[in-house]
A and B are shown apart, each in its own frame.
Chain A
């Protein structure tokens, strides 16, 4: 660290100015959540609450079934995460270690799925899932997760990790009489935990944050996910922004936790495979 200089001061000033638009919506999202109607309805609006209005937090549970939405999102995102991690591990093992006819072509087919935007095929998927009766009642859970049980991205990332696995370790396990199945679950998976965590964190975040698919699929509000619930809260309570922001703040807690504690996995998952 060098001594104080004018250039350094300028850097601080510019970064400080840049931080305002980046941090303000976050600040306002959380502070607005505990602002009373008095602070939010004044013009110009208050930037600092005159008193903390914790009641918003309890009111939002009364306004919408926030607890229920939490459970729904947890079931949906949890199921998708577990399933994608497992199917990706299996497929990645096959691509990395097994001799298969037409392996390159099959792998190409996996990668091709990454080129197809979900929005371009959402209509037939919607028609199929609702046609199979998976948009009604408890079956909605099935409809929410079924199209997302496999992932070319996860397979690709894990295949890269498996290919970097030292051959000596694998050979040693085989000499000790280890079959493919045991090799996979007892040797490869435990030693690939960082890559598996990266896939898990990435899949969980994108599943938890889904919007388009749950929006069109869910008709029964009992199965509504948190993201849709919050946007409906916004439509319903325009006059009470404190209530809306309380819902936002509450719904952010799981992703904030994942981002703060899983940051290194996130960066790994975000850039793996895409950068050389």
Chain B
């Protein structure tokens, strides 16, 4: 977050800076009072929305996580840490492991791949603008539309993925129903979905690098790999840092692609934390809101932890201009 700036004196104040007779003091107080009132009035809509749909639900999630619920999901009795104890199981361990793998293999390739492409686009070649727009195009796809396209491509019988393998003489692969392949397949689709956004952000970063710096380096004889590794990449570190933080947070929240492509299967191979919450609370008429809320608390803690670690550790190594 950028540091808060000092705000210059508000417009209402300027009339009353010369003298301070009791009358002007009173008027100044009245002005300040109406200014405060107006301020709270302007903040009111947002504050109400946040109170109702962020802060109250936050407390409610904690409350639900320590209560059992009846068949309709209404909290009935206090059960203490029972829902949390349930999580000390191999099953939930697998959910956490899947979440970690999914995050790692959807964030790292998408960021490195986009960096690679954006660096190549710096090679002063013809048609750079068209190429850059082309590489950014996946951004126009929503998670749902991209997932549906990949569902068609991954179709075991008539999908193009197997068609191409077949023409290379390789046997058909059950992309989404083979437990050892489903997670990589969903990760690959997610990397594709994130690619355009990463290219957009990194291109904007490259465009902001001052041409003098690059020119000076070129005059000193740097080019190609040296220019990229010594000049461009270090100057892109704020964007890279931003992308790692944002895509990790996104990956931990991923839901649509898993719901559309695999429904968490096969054999829980793609059940991430968020999907597990959905499954317990909403899927197939299930309304185990207690356990789901306990897992939601875990999600909250994991995400806060990630953000803290990334800001604490990574940011110190980032070079800001």
- A150 and B148 in contact, given A41-B158, A94-B39 (Cβ under 8 angstroms): no
The answer, among A25, A119, A208, A215, for a CB contact under 8 Å with B299, is: A119
Q: How far is the CA of A2 from the CA of B223 in the complex (A)?
A: 14
Stretch at the interface among B16-24, B88-96, B253-261: B253-261
User: What 4 new A-B contacts, CB under 8 Å, besides A40-B158, A180-B11?
Assistant: A97-B10, A116-B54, A116-B300, A170-B11
Q: How far is the CA of A211 from the CA of B147 in the complex (A)?
A: 12
Tell me which residues across on chain A come within 8 A of B8, comparing CB atoms. Answer: 167
Binary A-proximity of B80-118 (CB < 8 A = 1, otherwise 0): 000000000000000000000000000000000100110
Closest CB-CB distance, B244 to chain A, in whole Å? 12
Indicate if the CB atoms of B142 and A109 lie closer than 8 Å.
Answer: no
The answer, among B14, B131, B163, B195, for a CB contact under 8 Å with A43, is: B163
Closest CB-CB distance, B160 to chain A, in whole Å? 5
Indicate if the CB atoms of A1 and B42 lie closer than 8 Å.
Answer: no
Closest CB-CB distance, A230 to chain B, in whole Å? 6
Total of A-B residue pairs, C-beta within 8 Å: 304
Tell me which residues across on chain B come within 8 A of A6, comparing CB atoms. Answer: none
Closest to B53 in A: A147
Tell me which residues across on chain B come within 8 A of A54, comparing CB atoms. Answer: none
- A274 and B246 in contact, given A25-B150, A124-B60, A180-B12 (Cβ under 8 angstroms): yes
Q: List 8 A-B contacts (CB under 8 A).
A: A26-B138, A44-B163, A123-B57, A211-B142, A231-B144, A231-B256, A234-B260, A271-B242
- A123 and B135 in contact, given A91-B42, A209-B142 (Cβ under 8 angstroms): no
Chain B stretch 35-55: residues in CB contact (< 8 A) with chain A: 35-36, 38-40, 42-43, 45-50, 52-55
- A209 and B143 in contact, given A150-B50, A238-B155, A267-B201 (Cβ under 8 angstroms): yes
Q: Is A12 an interface residue (CB 8 A)?
A: yes
Q: Which 10 A-B pairs have the closest CB atoms?
A: A44-B163, A124-B60, A209-B142, A150-B49, A124-B57, A150-B46, A121-B57, A174-B11, A227-B144, A98-B39
Band of interface residues on A: 35 or more
Tell me which residues across on chain A come within 8 A of B43, comparing CB atoms. Answer: 90-91, 94-95, 100, 106
Q: Is B61 an interface residue (CB 8 A)?
A: yes
Stretch at the interface among A56-64, A190-198, A250-258: A250-258
- A230 and B145 in contact, given A15-B117, A15-B131, A22-B192 (Cβ under 8 angstroms): yes
